[in-house]
A and B are shown apart, each in its own frame.
Chain A
């Protein structure tokens, strides 16, 4: 299995998904060699063998570009060993060497970062390549076009793959329509959530004391937890916040995370006159991160293009009412949510106000979403992966 990160060295949902999927696959009887591009200790990972492709520190794995960020100019030209492209090349070399010693039955590669290595491993061993798409370059670039080199790597990798797993119907449709891959080569396997790993906890009502105070005054807290990049649609979210505040003055907005758009978003809230209602916390981990869900009444996923969106399931687990764009894949597995088009700021404003004003609506949304996410299981994901491995081996015509 070829991946780019595993917890606790993850910067987002990719590592979490890879971890739980591999664990469930091991329970199904799979023997897994998992390659990461850095050297580090991974606790609770005895279910598989983790291979370090380089001696780099985990935080160095994206080179001099930001996490997930493929848009930097330097990416295309900088080929030094510690650049993103350089690390990818070292990763490929490592995988080439590795498969010479032990031939895998199947190669499961996660996202464009590892796709080239996956293709090389397939060429060297003849083992089937399964490309697991958690996000495409079209998603990462939001409303922009994205990096042509990354598009090229994705296109080649998807063409060469024997089977493709997409994390949602939305992602499948991007793969089919934008990359011209035949639809029957792509299987949708939605991500799940491991409720046990979140554990049971009670918010102590202390981390966000000012917000707690406002809640006592009758305010409703709307939260989003994400990277501040164009993909996440946060400028639309801020505009909707301003629009909602025109009609209802007891909403406050908590933006947890960091990213290149941070300053733009702060300025936008000032321009729209709602600075006093919008709170920026910066990047959070652990208790503070969890408490951001704890203090929230409503969780908004405003993404312009979100292949899945694990944070929505985490928010459901923390009893938030969910508002999710129609462009987010997680909306395919939850029904008890509000959905809106990412650009439709009036619709988002309307939904936020209505949840804030109606205890009945809020309660029904939260209760029913809980029942829905609790049904999602990584074991089901693993079972479908296992049957896909078996099937692709039998029927492989390469």
Chain B
């Protein structure tokens, strides 16, 4: 490719967890409805889903479909968790239909991940592969496409994962473009995971991504209000380092994290319009980018790097004893649970593997009173842990019932 050719590589992550209701120890062994809060709290999954659909999924999908119609060279990527697809199927099927139209048009690439947005890669490799498999089948069934790129939950990546993804035939894998790892190198080129031969490694340009995802509406930011023309000059400047401008962020950036009245939709619309005026500017999907470019070298991440927090590690999920204890207990049940062949029990157990649950138990900053640093539908991380463990005890109870069934016929 000519060196003047460059591309925005837009990747959006879509997810909703099954939040646990205020599930009491007195519900344990009595009721198994962990995920069915129906009050007006933020634990009510239906309520949250419908709210976010209204504010983000519907208007952003409409904008993306419009851009696909108007801009023949606009392509992008999304990863969509299984728990999201379940909820959308129930409460907003039109959102899935809209996504399918964009996939059918050949303009939207769906990226592979775990069905349950879990950290299974770090606990149980077999379960991890099962969830990736379940996710692939669900994507095939829902959107009629088979993913060729992989991203792990929270972009949690290490060399082992890169090699695993290559062994499974993926063409691209995503990770954070974290400075201590890059050590002066740019995130704006294609890399190869340490020890891999075929697969391309795309690294998030977190400065440019976070300008949109986090800083866009911050009035204390010196660049506020950010204009598309300004951001375009930043893209131009960044492209002097390398052709790939990897903008990775949560889908909910558009309309939920940044509300419509911040001008986020207009900003995005104008930005893509301006960018694609030049025939040398492109918008590739992640697999397109990985196939079009030759890796500039390999990047090694022996220790796990995520896209979260200043530390870019897993401490928001596994940093305290509660989180470690909860995850240890839930993953310890894998084998006996799967042996039951009880579909509902297995599904409930897997929904407890979703990484949002330990995230709600995070106590980083909590003691400093900075409650807004971490979003949670619970009053405290201790409450989150309590409801989780009560639900897990009920799962164990159901498991015991199965065992007794085995003994006594």
Measuring CB to CB, which residues of chain A are less than 8 angstroms from any residue of chain B? 243, 247-248, 335-339, 346-347, 349-351, 353-354, 357-361, 363-365, 368, 371-372
- Inter-subunit contact B322/A368 (CB<8 Å): no
- The closest CB in chain B to the CB of A334 belongs to B367
Q: How far is the CA of A350 from the CA of B325 in the complex (A)?
A: 18
Closest partner residue, chain B, to A353 (CB atom): B25
Q: CA A247 – CA B27 in complex, angstroms?
A: 11
Whether A349 contacts B25 by the Cβ 8 Å rule is: yes
CB-contact partner of B366 in A349, A354, A368, under 8 A: A368
Q: Is B26 on the interface with A (CB-CB < 8 A)? A: yes
CB contact under 8 A between A358 and B390, given known A336-B367, A349-B25, A368-B363:
no
Chain B's nearest CB lies how many Å from the CB of A76? Answer: 43
Identify which of B363, B369, B379, B383 contacts A364 (C-beta below 8 A).
Answer: B363
Q: Would B367 and A368 count as touching, CB distance under 8 A?
A: yes
Contacts known (A361-B322, A364-B320); A350 close to B382, Cβ less than 8 A: no
- Across the interface, A360 reaches (CB within 8 A) one of B24, B324, B367, namely B324
* Shortest Cβ gap from A222 to chain B (Å): 15
* Cα–Cα distance between A323 and B324 once the two chains are bound (Å): 22
Q: Which residues of chain A come closer than 8 Å to B390, judged between CB atoms?
A: 350, 354
At the interface, yes or no: B148 with Cβ under 8 Å from chain A?
no
Min distance, Cβ A176 to any Cβ of chain B, angstroms: 23
Binding site for A on B (CB under 8 A): 24-26, 28, 320-326, 363, 366-367, 369, 379-383, 385-386, 389-390
Question: Which residue, B28, B321, B380, has most C-beta atoms of chain A within 10 A?
Answer: B321
Query: Within 8 Å CB of B320, what residues of A?
Result: 360, 364
A346–B363 touching, CB < 8 Å: no
Contact (Cβ within 8 A) A335 B24: no
- B residues less than 8 Å from A338 (CB atoms): 380, 382-383, 386
Closest to B368 in A: A335
- With both beta carbons as reference points, the residue of chain A lying nearest to B325 in the complex is identified as A360
Which B residue's beta carbon lies closest to that of A326?
Answer: B379
Contact assessment for A359 and B325 in the assembled complex, using a CB-CB cutoff below 8 Å: yes
Q: Is the CB of A335 within 8 A of B369?
A: yes
- Tell me what chain A mostly uses at the interface: helix, strand, loop, or mixed: helix
A349 to B379, CA, bound (A): 18
Cα separation A335 to B378 with both chains bound (whole Å):
13
A53 CB to closest chain B CB (Å) equals 42
Question: Are A346 and B24 also in contact (CB < 8 A) when A336-B367, A351-B386 are?
Answer: yes
Residue from B323, B369, B389 in contact with A357 in the complex, judged by beta carbons closer than 8 Å: B389
Q: Which residues of A contact B325 (CB under 8 A)?
A: 358-361
Point out the residues of chain B lying under 8 angstroms from A335, CB to CB: 366-367, 369, 380
Query: A338-B383, A354-B386, A361-B386 known; 4 other A-B pairs, CB under 8 Å?
Result: A338-B380, A346-B24, A347-B24, A361-B389
Bound Cα distance from A247 to B323, whole angstroms: 24
User: How far apart sit A189 and B24, CA to CA, in the bound complex (Å)?
Assistant: 35
- Which of B326, B366, B379 touches A339 (beta carbons < 8 Å)? B379
Residue from the list B321, B367, B382 in contact with A359, Cβ < 8 A: B321
Q: How far is the CA of A346 from the CA of B26 in the complex (A)?
A: 8
B382 lies within 8 A of A336 (CB): yes
Which residue of the partner chain B has the closest CB to A248?
B25
Q: Measured between alpha carbons, how far is A371 from B365 in the docked complex, in Å?
A: 12
Given contacts A361-B325, A363-B321, contact A371 B386 (CB under 8 A): no
- Taking CB as reference atom, which chain B residue is nearest A323? B382
**Which B residues touch A368, using CB under 8 A?**
363, 366-367
User: What are the nearest 9 A-B pairs in CB distance?
Assistant: A360-B325, A360-B321, A350-B25, A360-B322, A354-B386, A368-B367, A363-B321, A364-B322, A364-B320
Chain B residues, CB < 8 A from A350: 24-26, 386, 390
Question: B29: nearest residue on chain A (CB-CB)?
Answer: A247
Supply 16 A–B pairs (Cβ within 8 Å), ascending by A.
Answer: A247-B25, A247-B26, A346-B24, A347-B24, A349-B25, A350-B25, A350-B386, A353-B25, A354-B25, A354-B389, A358-B325, A358-B385, A360-B320, A363-B321, A364-B320, A371-B367
Nearest opposing residue in chain A for B320, CB measure: A364
Cα distance A339–B386 in the bound complex, in angstroms: 12
Minimal beta-carbon separation of B381 from chain A (angstroms): 8
Q: How far, in angstroms, from A227 to B22 measured CA to CA in the complex?
A: 32
Contact B322 A336 (CB under 8 A): no
Q: Once bound together, how far apart are the Cα atoms of A352 and B322, in whole Å?
A: 15
> What separation, in Å, do the CA atoms of A361 and B321 have in the docked complex?
7
In the complex formed, the residue of A with least CB distance to B23 is A350
Determine the chain B residues whose CB is within 8 A of the CB of A247 once the complex forms: 25-26, 28
Asked whether A372 lies within 8 Å of B367 as measured between CB atoms, the reply is: yes
Q: How far is the CA of A346 from the CA of B27 in the complex (A)?
A: 11
> In whole angstroms, how far apart are the Cα atoms of A243 and B324 in the complex?
29
The docked-state distance in angstroms from the alpha carbon of A349 to that of B321 is: 22
**What residues of chain A lie closer than 8 Å to B389, measured between beta carbons?**
354, 357-358, 361
Contact A365 B382 (CB under 8 A): yes
Closest residue on chain A to residue B371 by CB atoms: A335
Q: How far is the CB of B144 from chain A (nearest CB, A)?
A: 44
Q: Report chain B residues within 8 Å CB of A364.
A: 320-322, 363, 381-382
Q: How close is A174's CB to chain B, nearest CB, in angstroms?
A: 22
Complex Cα distance, B367 from A99, in Å, reads 45
A358–B324 Cα gap in the complex (Å)? 11
Which residues from A are CB-within-8-Å of B383? 338
